Structure 1
Amino acid sequence: MKKQLKKKLYIDGRWQEAKDYYELKSPFSGDVIASVPLADEREVEDALESAQSGSEKMKQLTSLERSDILERASRIFEERSEEAVEILAMECAKPLKAARAEIARTIETYKFASEEAKRINGETIPMDAAKSGKGRFAFTIREPLGVIAAITPFNFPFNLVAHKLGPAFAAGNSVVLKPANQTPLSALLTAEIFEQAGLPGGALNVVTGRGSVIGDQLVKDSRVKMVTFTGSVEVGLGIKEKAGLKKVTLELGSNSAVIVDGAEDMNAVVDRCVEGAYSFAGQVCISVQRIYVQEILYDSFVHQFVERTKQLVIGDPLSEGTDLSAMINQGEADRIEEWFKEATEAGAHILYGGKREDAIIHPTVITGGSSALSLNCKEAFAPIVTITPYGSLDEAIGLVNDSEYGLQAGIYTTSVHKAFDALHRLQVGGVMINDIPTFRVDHMPYGGVKNSGTGREGIKYSVEEMTELKLVTFKL
């Protein structure tokens, strides 16, 4: 990664030149780190043709063969982990500590996929439960869909790719992968690792370049049987409209909230909330963006939170001590600056932070903001948190639910009754009791309601999305 690299497209098990390229720059330093292909319509067509033939090869593999490929990929990721970590630090300014955590999860995700490849099964159906079913036997099987289009974001470019590829390969599908423009190097290294692991040619095709060219072509093509997308609401809605009758899984936005109603160790709660708010500069779908604190605890909590935030180290993502670095581009920093201006003009208080240096937004704590502020009602995807007091738990739950999103939420409480009350009434896909909404392990079902998307990830659950259920009946 020390020198500029000229990368290639990966199509039909071969690395090939493109007609056009773009310069990939580090979000932190601005240095050019690679020259990346801009795939055109012909090259995307080649990838689709390759994936179509690759899907037949994948379908012929046994469960054990698919499992072994995924296990080998996981092992190679372990061997090349520091190389992958450096790519993350360079192409998306992810600090080394966070980058190593992502690669550890990526390794685990492919291991889960390897295990799940052996567990794809159906069930027997008691046909004689119906009068006309007497003398019949039935069972279900799961079959691969075929070609899957995977469109992935910049923020977890190894692990969120793993959440597309792992279950797709476990189920016997092929994939055309379109990574985010800012993070193509991670996807291309992933392709290299699967090539080394023995994945059949055509089973994985990586096309880099403009979403407006590649995305539409993939979404509309009849050979693609499913689109799996992680990204913005606006793009997700466009995919839903263009996909027709294809299966679609959408992991979209959030402005995740945590309720602090009580805890035995408030210092630990504060530490966890700071971690959830500012990890990878808040560029996490389930980053802590809104904190609602019981009014008796509010002043103490805010004081502790600010003091802990002041200890964060801002700087070069390639430095071992860095906690927080640049946002993904200058445009995102511009947007957040405008949000700061909107908040202060509306009477909110910036207790700490609110500063910008090029693409770096300093970790920011805001109080006194109304629920109508962009910082509260939209997805920040930045190192910003609002802290608001509440009186009753009913009020807190209402504030959490007053959102167009519903991915995950957290609640800290010492009352089991309040915990069960909250878990039933919070309008989200996942409720974390005595933890922040940022908690995720890679085999749990993950997804949201409202504008946070449709479908679930988590390897077992993705396999179900990426297979077709077929019924078989025997008349005996």
Structure 2
Amino acid sequence: MIPFHVAGRPTIGTDVLTVRSPYNTEVVGVTSLSTAEQVEQAVAAAVGATGPAAALTAAERAAALDEISARIRQRAEQFAQLITAENGKPLKWARAEVARAVSTFRWAAEEARRFSGELQRLDTDPAAAGRIAMIRRVPRGPVLGIAPFNFPLNLVAHKVAPALAVGAPIIVKPAPATPLTALLLGEVMSGLDLPAGMFSVLPIPNERVAELVADPRLPVVSFTGSGPVGAQIRAAVPHKHVTLELGGNAAALICQDWTDLDFAAQRIATFANYQAGQSCIAVQRVFVHHDQLAAFTPKLIAAVEALCTGDPRDERTDVGPVIDERAARRIEEWIGEAVAGGARILTGGGRDGTTLTPTVLIDAPADAKVSAEEVFGPVLVLAGVDTDADGLAAIDDSAYGLQAGVFTHRLDVAFAAHRRLRVGGIIIGDVPSFRADQMPYGGVKGSGSGREGVASAMQDYTEPRVMVLTGLTL
């Protein structure tokens, strides 16, 4: 049985948790669920580690993060194979995720060395002559990091790495469908020269998470997952510092000046389906000028149909299964509802168990779920627009605001998009699915609050503390 980690120590619980492949239901591994007593031990240890963790030098924190990065790199193929097995992500994309996790921890080591605070002169007011302020950011306290299934390594890394970088203990609650990758990360982190209680990785059933979220000893909650659950967390603990990354229905606009329709079609087809659509910034809505629609549509269909769908362990596979059959049936039902409302299927629309054929729809109603909600599946909704301004308005006509892609060469259009769109990030000349792990990443409206990205999360995990020095001449 695969152990989890309580205060850095391998531990076994009482209730068995069997993890199966979403592709063929084969058993991937067996672990166990944390008991209430083990959860209490982890929380108490995190509280006890708060002082020693905050006292770690920048060199010590950076060294630990560099070591984690190196250990993941050494075991990269093991991580990738495990991600593919328990998540169903094609191996090529699992390897890309592992490479990003290596980078995330390496970047956190660099940020730990830079995390210095600032000096502020106060003699701008005569009454404060001879005084300066030193402002440092200190950990708010232990962090509860709740991770989703779709990136079972790198999205855990985006919670763990910033916490270690600022010297904050962290308890990680991985997704029930994909806990094994996080447990392997816990194994990689074991034996580091860190205070006892600095990290725990606890498989906990979702119905027991509310009590952990409410625990007053965990002042920071970092959640990545569904909108309804995020809203429940925000409402339950308004006194805590809560960061929420809740997804979206990302859109791409092909502007009137864009001529390379082959490039746009290839990028959109790839990044609508690269995790079987199970990415918060997978392309879901595509807006094209009416005078380009006839030329673009067959290119998009050809690019989508060229993708290889099947066994995620096959090196040739581009699109694997979704996480379980319930998700697959929901996506199939949403496609059916859109068609009943007037949408046409240009390609795809089929389902075999947990695997859906990549699907392109046109003429879907604006209020259809495939248009208005987050599909989280391999589904594209294509629509025509009259002007660039209409396209930007269509992107913004959404309850979500995570990222958008705008295919244009014109700086005035790029700046107009940046000024107008209520999203967390705008990618010019490419799909909304681009993310660099050091940049601020998150959204507005229904897409959440706070930002991931190592330096941004370090800000969220800390608060300013001011020291005023008196009797100094500047």
Q: Same fold (TM over 0.5)?
A: yes
Equivalent of residue 63 in structure 1, options 47, 58, 65 = 58
Structure 1 residue aligned with 2:230: 236
Q: Does 1:340 align with 2:335?
A: yes
Question: In the alignment, does 2:256 pair up with 1:254?
Answer: no
Give CA deviations for 1:408-466 in whole Å, capped at 9, x if unaligned: 00111132222211211111011111111000010011110101000111111111111
Offset from partner CA, 1:370-395 (integer Å, 9 cap, x none): 21110000000000001101001221
Q: Percent identity?
A: 37
| Structure 2: unaligned runs, 5 residues or longer | none
Contact map agreement 2:87 2:150 (CA 8 A) in 1: yes
Most deviating of 31-40 and 99-108? 31-40
Shift of 1:196: 4.1
How far off is 1:264 after superposition?
4.0
Q: Which moved more, 1:366-375 or 1:126-135?
A: 126-135
Q: Which residue of 1 aligns with 2:113?
A: 118
What is the letter of the counterpart of residue 244 of structure 2?
Answer: L
Gaps of 5+ in 1: 1-5
Asked if 2 retains the 8 angstrom alpha-carbon contact of 1:232 and 1:253, the reply is yes
Is structure 2 residue 337 aligned with structure 1 residue 306? Answer: no
User: For residue 304 of structure 1, what is the amino acid of its counterpart?
Assistant: K
Contact kept, 8 Å, 2:286 with 2:380, in 1: the verdict is yes
* 1:221 paired to 2:215: yes
**1: CA distance, partners of 2:313 / 2:50:** 39
- What SS does the corresponding residue of 1:129 show, helix, strand or coil? coil
| Post-superposition CA distance 1:64-99 (Å, at most 9, x none) | 011000001100111000000010110000101000
258-267 or 389-398: bigger deviation: 258-267
Letter in structure 1 aligned against 2:3: K
CA distance in 2: counterparts of 1:134 and 1:90, whole angstroms = 64
The secondary structure found in structure 2 opposite 1:209 is coil
Of the three residues 440, 462, 469, the one matched with 1:445 is 440
Of 46-55 and 196-205, more deviation after overlay is shown by 196-205
Q: Distance in 2 between matches of 1:49 and 1:267?
A: 56
Q: Once superposed, what is the RMSD of the aligned Cα atoms?
A: 1.1
TM-score by length of 1: 0.97
Deviations 1:297-323 (A, max 9, x none): 111111000011111111111111111
Cα deviation for residue 209 of structure 1 reads 2.5
1:29 has 2:24 as partner: yes
Q: Provide, for residues 94-113 of structure 1, a one-character-per-residue CA deviation record: whole Å limited to 9, x for no partner.
A: 10100010000000000000
Shift in CA distance, 396/159, structure 1 to aligned 2, threshold 3 Å? same
The reply on whether 1:475 has 2:454 as its aligned counterpart is no
Correspondences of 1:81-160 after superposition (within 5 Å): 81-160=76-155
1:28-427, aligned counterparts within 5 Å? 28-213=23-208, 215-261=209-255, 262-427=257-422
Q: Deviations over 1:204-230 (max 9, x none)?
A: 1011021221x2122111110200010
Any conservation in 2 of the 1:413–1:419 contact (CA below 8 Å)?
A: yes
2:4 counterpart residue number: 9
> 1:251 offset after TM fit, Å?
0.5
Q: Which amino acid aligns with 2:232?
A: G
> Which amino acid in 1 is paired with 2:215?
D
- 8 A Cα contact 1:44 1:217, kept in partner: no
TM-score under structure 2 normalisation?
Answer: 0.97
Moved over 6 A (4+): none
Is this contact kept in 2: 1:70–1:197, CA < 8 A?
no
SS class of match (1:427)? coil
Once residues 83 and 167 of structure 1 are traced to their aligned partners in structure 2, the CA distance between those partners, rounded to angstroms, is: 24
Equivalence for 1:3: none
SS in 2 for 1:335: helix
